[in-house]
Amino acid sequence: MPYIPHTEQDIQKILKALGASKVEEVLSQLPASLRLTKALDLPAGLSEQELAAHLRELGSRNTTVQDYSSFLGAGAYNHYIPAIVDSVISRSEFFTSYTPYQPELSQGTLQAIFEYQTLVCQLTGMDVANASLYDGATAVAEAALMARRITGKQGIVLSSALHPEYRETVKTYLVGTGDQLSEVMYCTETGVTLPGAVEAAISDSTACVIVQHPNFFGCLEDVQAVAEVVHRKKALLVIVVNEAISLGLLKPPGETGCDIVVGENQSFGNPLSYGGPYLGFMATKDEFIRQMPGRLIGQTVDRDGKRAFCLTFATREQHIRRERATSNICTNHGLCALAAAVHMVGLGSQGLKKLASLNLSKAEYLKKKLSEAGAQLAFSAPTFNEFTIKVNKDPGQVLNNLLGKKIIGGLGLKRFYPALDRHILVTATEMNSKAEMDALAEAIKGA
């Protein structure tokens, strides 16, 4: 049946109110060049059974990490998702990403988000975290805007070892703002952002410096040294965490002197899903709480003295005066945040540490095997579960050859960094078996 809400009687009432005799008179105001003058070329409708079969056929054309061994990361990581995650997030009470507009009526939803915020604070070592953001890239852009509001300055310094797509997102957000955007080149030997280079890039108008840790090449930055330089120059330090599992081993950013921590939490409880939806996070110091974008859930007591949860801050332009709003972000990724919270709680602090250690050991084993196979490690800095190698042949050819062996070999870096035209970013997680890593090394021999 056609899903058209208006009956013929409804249409006649509308036309009468408009003073028109037929629909064409109303549509005549549209430019002829924009009017569709022929019927849409659409296939015939399908029954539910036929549609299900059609979708299965389309899905079978995809290549997934269940079909191939994957060493691809660069901001989207293949981790095991425990069964408890889907069990909880599939409950009908939670099965929405949206915070209700009468939030205090949804105590379960608010508590889930509150627990997620608490876990993010524990992970990052920061005082306060918001309810979530869209993804890692937009979280970085929101952090840049937040730093501008806090400092009243308009200079943003980005490390060139920050994820290239994150850098592009920041640039897009800042179009038309008059901000001074600059980049600090990474060290070509170590692969990290040198404190001296950061210091040289900061001016009196710099609001913040944005550094990723571990960075895009997988290298571990000296966050504490960078923080000392940034604060000495009266700017804020934003740390970006692309691979949240790394926080199971690395010192929390809050303990290294950073002011704002943002990043991507997809690694906890959220599948690859061909790039989304993902889960951006943001955490900061108490003193900056009123400049945070998005929503913040708080714990209080009701009139009977019982524990209750409430929407403490919602500084979006739909809720408060536009000139006082910190963001126009419309919702939060509540379901993705719940999945991450369930995964984190299921792991516990010791489980997370073991998982992070396993990722590190897998990557170190793969480094060794690839080096023995003839690949060179591109940078000397230590890494977590991701690292960059240099091969002798064109990386595109190498990666295509690997696909023929059912191996997704990593990410060629030439399109992001033209100077790295023989380089591949490789990732190893708990999902990669010894046999898979040995097969990758064998396949890459001579490359």
pLDDT tens per residue, range 401-413: 999 999 999 999 9
> Does residue 407 share a domain with residue 301?
no
Q: Report d(CA 161, CA 166) in Å as an integer.
A: 10
269, 343 contact by CB (below 8 A) = yes
Q: Report d(CA 358, CA 334) in Å as an integer.
A: 29
Rounded average pLDDT over 215-237: 98
As a whole number of Å, the end-to-end CA separation of the chain is: 58
Lowest mean pLDDT among 80-84, 87-91, 214-218: 87-91
Q: Report d(CA 32, CA 37) in Å as an integer.
A: 9
Is 360 inside any structural domain?
A: yes
Lowest mean pLDDT among 268-272, 317-321, 392-396, 399-403: 317-321
How many domains would you assign to the chain? 2
Lowest mean pLDDT among 23-37, 122-136, 266-280, 369-383: 23-37
> Does residue 221 share a domain with residue 127?
yes
DSSP for 176-204? TTT-EEEEEPPPTTT-S--HHHHHHH--T
pLDDT at 1 over 50: no
Residue 114 tokens read as 């509150």
> Does residue 265 share a domain with residue 162?
yes
CB-neighbour burial class of residue 202 (10 A; exposed 0-12, middle 13-18, buried 19+): buried
Q: For position 3, what pLDDT does the model report?
A: 60
Q: For position 29, what pLDDT does the model report?
A: 87
Band of pLDDT at residue 87, cut at 50, 70 and 90: very high
> Does residue 188 share a domain with residue 134?
yes
pLDDT tens digits, one per residue of 45-62: 899 999 999 999 999 999
Handedness of CA 14, 17, 21, 27 (dihedral sign): negative
> Does residue 427 share a domain with residue 336?
no
Is 62 inside any structural domain?
A: no
Is 41 inside any structural domain?
A: no
Most confident option among 171-175, 229-233, 323-327: 229-233
Lowest mean pLDDT among 164-173, 263-272, 325-334, 409-418: 325-334
Q: Report d(CA 126, CA 115) in Å as an integer.
A: 15
More confidently predicted of 59 and 104? 59
> 109 Cβ partners below 8 Å, 6+ apart?
93, 94, 99, 100, 103, 334
Q: For position 171, what pLDDT does the model report?
A: 96
Least Cα distance to 272 among 25, 9, 75, 18 occurs for 75
CATH of the domain at 262: 3.40.640.10
DSSP 316: B
pLDDT tens digits, one per residue of 12-43: 999 999 999 998 899 888 998 999 888 888 99
Angle subtended at Cα 230 by Cα 224 and Cα 236, rounded to the nearest 5 degrees? 100
pLDDT at 436 over 90: yes
More confidently predicted of 238 and 318? 238
Q: For position 285, what pLDDT does the model report?
A: 98
Neighbours of 382 (CB within 10 A): 15
Q: Report d(CA 297, CA 311) in Å as an integer.
A: 5
Q: Report d(CA 188, CA 318) in Å as an integer.
A: 46
DSSP 313: E
pTM score: 0.89
Rounded average pLDDT over 121-128: 98
Is 221 inside any structural domain?
A: yes
User: What element of type H or E holds 345?
Assistant: helix 334-372
Quote the domain boundaries for residue 362: 69-81+349-443
Lowest mean pLDDT among 41-45, 266-270, 278-282, 418-422: 41-45
Q: Report d(CA 165, CA 211) in Å as an integer.
A: 14
Beta strands in 15-88 (DSSP E): 69-70
Neighbours of 86 (CB within 10 A): 13
Name the residue with tokens 């379901």: 335
Q: Report d(CA 163, CA 241) in Å as an integer.
A: 10
pLDDT tens digits, one per residue of 282-325: 999 999 999 999 889 999 999 999 999 988 887 765 566 666 76
Q: Is residue 394 classed as helix, strand or coil in its secondary structure?
A: coil
The identity of residue 360, as a single letter, is L
Q: Report d(CA 165, CA 181) in Å as an integer.
A: 15
218, 386 contact by CB (below 8 A) = yes
Rounded average pLDDT over 74-87: 98
Lowest mean pLDDT among 315-319, 331-335, 360-364: 315-319
Rounded average pLDDT over 360-371: 98
Name the residue with tokens 């105590």: 107
> Does residue 217 share a domain with residue 173?
yes
Q: For position 321, what pLDDT does the model report?
A: 66
71, 410 contact by CB (below 8 A) = yes
Rounded average pLDDT over 321-335: 72
Task: Please state, rounded to an integer, the average pLDDT across all residues of the chain.
Answer: 93
CATH of the domain at 438: 3.90.1150.10
Is 335 inside any structural domain?
A: yes
